[in-house]
Amino acid sequence: MPRYILALDQGTTSSRSILFDHDARIVSVAQQEFRQILPATGQVEHDPEDLWGSQISTAEGALGKVALEEVAAIGITNQRETTIVWDKRTGKPIHNAIVWQSRVSSSICDRLRSEGVEDTIRQKTGLVVDAYFSASKIIHLLETVSGARQAAEDGHLLFGTVDCYLVWRLTGGKRHVTDVSNASRTMMLNIETLEWDDELLAAYKIPRSMLPEIVDCSGQFAETDPAVLGRVIPISGMAGDQQAASFGQTCFDQGMVKNTYGTGAFALMNIGDKPVLSKNNLLTTVGWRIGDQVSYALEGSIFVAGAVVQWLRDGLGIIEASSEVEPLAETVADNGGVYFVPAFVGLGAPYWDPHARGTIIGLSRGTTGGHIARAALESMAFQTRDMIEAMQRDAGVPLQVLQVDGGASVNNALMQFQTDLLGTRVRRPKISETTALGAAFLAGLAVGFWESQEELRGLWRLDREFEPTADPHKMDQMYTRWQEAVTRSRAWERAGE
């Protein structure tokens, strides 16, 4: 009998492969970082071969200690919105992948607004017009890569987010599919019909022939080419990383909220089986679809969370390894009046300001690296409160508990600061890799490895619950200062033109 599910977790800075057993315990894990390509300020790219090579290498590493016959299925989760366009005749990408963080298509978004399609996009997709999403990135590639427009119109080019590209490669080019959660992040999916929207495609001048087939998040929609991993394995689970994390956190009920602290940070609230547009600058997105069951979510998106620690390491050079940030932050009792707005690529929810830029404010002669490290960590919690407050206004009810996961959630000091800042409980599961776990859950449900969502609930295990202990008045004062710092960061790029 199959004993394991393999989860492929293709992230923004690294690829991971994790093997889970029937009790949702990690059996093996392999991880590999890859290059970040930064052509200009606010632009981020990846080489698609780096994405594929690192992912397949980690898959082989995770599978190294088990027999392939023991693997029931593969689930895939991925950095969302990142855009790859390739020639289906050769399989070769026409350009580097344009990463979700990249602002290279901001001018295209300005143009779409000037053409008067912003409200239509908002109503049909649940998204704001922003360079974050895939459609503007496709337009950019079609307009700037020599010969791309003609090749697309001749039916030779394919578009995919990273999930789609991985399936294409895993199946030897036999399947060009994306799941509905990733499709909902492209600015091309109608969230009512859950199909590509022809009116929007016409407005964008994107040929429908480029787009993949849309499939459920859980279902037997593909299988690996035996030449890739050594045997045929069903690919039966697929979801964008934040939706997968929500599923891994078993946020199956309306009103449940999770926040993932990764390269960026993303809070999702399950809003049930009908899409509701936010009145507070959040996104409406598809959580998952399994058969005739659809769950929608409100989402707040932070572009830079854990990535600020990488910048302290690689850009500022005040730490040599990411693990050093917490001890450095603990060398000071507080932030010393320093606030760090890490708007390196603009600000996401609820501001949606592509022209904001990173700001460190409140520096004095007494400021140390410890203060900057502490302010960097605190920025994750402040940005999370920005999102949660918007969510509470939309929902009309206070948040009772926040489920957390992702790399930075293991930082106890940060999680305590987060619960103090929100004034609500924060719950962290034993498995912080809930993104990969969600992909595994979706894949396992499709092949009968797990029988039901109720069974999955029983596999969620608490690691630690944090409760507020700080003075709420002091926390509110700090948050007010944070908002003042954000104001100073906004529209900076435009101001300097």
Q: How many CA atoms, within 13 angstroms, populate the side-chain half-sphere of residue 425?
A: 9
* 262 in a labelled binding site: no
Tell me what pLDDT residue 407 has: 84
Residues 187-210 pLDDT 10s: 999 999 999 999 999 999 999 999
What percentage of the chain exceeds 70 in pLDDT?
99
How wide is the angle at C-alpha 311 spanned by C-alphas 306 and 312, nearest 5°?
95
pLDDT at 495 over 70: no
Q: Taking 60 as the threshold, does the pLDDT of residue 487 lie above it?
A: yes
Q: For residue 93, which amino acid is it?
A: P
To the question of whether residue 263 is assigned a binding role by annotation, the answer is yes
**Would you say 12 is a known binding-site residue?**
yes
> 132 a known binding residue?
yes
Q: Judge whether 82 is annotated as a binding position.
A: no
- Is 396 annotated to bind a ligand? Reply is no
- The 10s digit of each residue's pLDDT in 246-276 is 999 999 988 889 999 988 899 999 989 999 8
Known binding residue 306? Answer is yes
For residue 273, what are the contacts with CB-CB under 8 A and spacing of at least 6? 293, 294, 295, 296
374 carries a ligand binding annotation: no
* 216 is annotated as contributing to ligand binding: no
Of 102, 84, 103, the residue nearest 94 (C-alpha)? 84
CB distance 95 to 50 below 8 Å: no
What is the tens place of the pLDDT at every residue in 456-473?
A: 999 999 999 999 999 999
In angstroms, the Cα distances linking 183 to 59, 108, 152, 250 are: 25, 20, 19, 22
Tell me the DSSP string of 301-343.
Answer: EES-STHHHHHIIIII-S-SSGGGHHHHHTTSSS-TT-EEE--
Q: Is the pLDDT of residue 497 over 70?
A: no
Give the domains, in start order, of the chain with CATH numbers: 4-242 (3.30.420.40), 250-496 (3.30.420.40)
pLDDT tier for residue 418 given thresholds of 50, 70 and 90: very high
Largest Cα–Cα distance of the chain, in whole Å?
A: 65
407 is in an annotated binding site: yes
**DSSP H helical ranges for 126-225:** 134-144, 148-153, 162-170, 180-183, 198-204
Q: What is the DSSP string of 367-424?
A: --HHHHHHHHHHHHHHHHHHHHHHHHHHHSS---EEEEESGGGG-HHHHHHHHHHHTS
- State both tokens at 193: 């019909």
pLDDT(328) > 90? yes
Q: What is the pTM of this model?
A: 0.87
